[in-house]
Structure 1
Amino acid sequence: MTAKGRRAILCRMENQRHQLDRAFAALSDPTRRAVVARLCLGEASVGELAEPFSIGLPTFLKHIRVLEDGGLLETRKTGRVRMCALKPEALRQTDIWLSEHLRIWAARLDRMDAHIQRRKKEMRNDE
């Protein structure tokens, strides 16, 4: 592989890492997680999304911007109404990252369990 090819791969990996950082930061707030959960049912207006929360619209719009910056949703304006919809690719990327780490930890726990079972068997044989 050429140096140019390696740089391209590293750049793409850095962009993906940055995207994940922004997505996880956006999901760190319970209000934003509730908005994402609601949008899983389908697109909604900002007004509909804000309705269940006891915060002002300007504050709620900041949450919408953070979700947009995190790549989790997109908005479009139709007349005077701003509609929001999920961007499933960002959720897929977070799911891929989480799944990989869960797989790694499950394998580690399986190895630890196997080690404990071996030690128990050795201790019974020593008695």
Structure 2
Amino acid sequence: MQEITPELVRTFSALSDPVRMATLAKLAEGPSTVGDLAAPFALSPAGFSKHLSVLQAAGLVAKELDGRKHICSLRVEPLRAAFDWLSFYQQFWSDNLDRLEVFLDQSQAKNHRKKTGE
């Protein structure tokens, strides 16, 4: 089992909100200004700033100043760690689904034999 680090917990916590998830999806397209990122949401600037702060604290977003504009960009390292952690469970589900498929195949074959009298 993979270690549950404070960084991993911050990443999943940051991903637990639809505004923050949508913000990361937008940043996956490329860097963007804070104003452009906030535009789709019915939030005050302070409200969106709180979401952005959570993303920055989790290490998912880097923000730099370009003149008077704050430019945000996606940082993928924390997402890679989350992916690695989830990958363990992907194998778990894959193994269980494989066993379920075998069971269903055997069950269908048994039912077929009953119906045909084999």
TM-score by length of 2: 0.82
State the secondary structure of the residue aligned to 1:84: strand
Cα shift at 1:122 = 4.9
Cα RMSD between the aligned structures?
2.1
State the secondary structure of the residue aligned to 2:29: coil
Distance 1:54-1:125 versus aligned 2 partners, 3 A rule: closer
- Output the amino acid matched with 1:86: L
Q: Which has the higher helix share?
A: 1
Separation in structure 2 between the aligned mates of residue 121 and residue 44 of structure 1, nearest angstrom: 57
State the secondary structure of the residue aligned to 2:95: helix
Out of 92, 99, 111, the position equivalent to 2:99 is: 111
Cα shift at 1:105 = 0.5
> Which moved further from structure 2: 57-66 or 93-102?
93-102
Match of 1:9 in 2: none
The answer to whether structure 1 residue 73 and structure 2 residue 61 are counterparts is yes
Q: Provide Cα deviations, 1:59-111, integer angstroms capped at 9, x if missing partner.
A: 10000000111221111122322111110111112222223212210111111
Separation in structure 2 between the aligned mates of residue 124 and residue 83 of structure 1, nearest angstrom: 64
- Output the amino acid matched with 2:79: L
Q: Percent identity?
A: 35
Separation in structure 2 between the aligned mates of residue 124 and residue 34 of structure 1, nearest angstrom: 49
Cα shift at 1:116 = 3.5
Which consecutive unaligned segments of at least 5 residues does structure 2 have?
none
- Output the amino acid matched with 1:105: W
Out of 20, 23, 31, the position equivalent to 1:35 is: 23
Which consecutive unaligned segments of at least 5 residues does structure 1 have?
1-12
Q: How does 1:15-26 map to 2 (within 5 A)?
A: 17-26=5-14
- Output the amino acid matched with 1:80: R
Match of 1:95 in 2: 83
Separation in structure 1 between the aligned mates of residue 36 and residue 43 of structure 2, nearest angstrom: 13
Q: What is the number of equivalent residue pairs in this alignment? A: 114
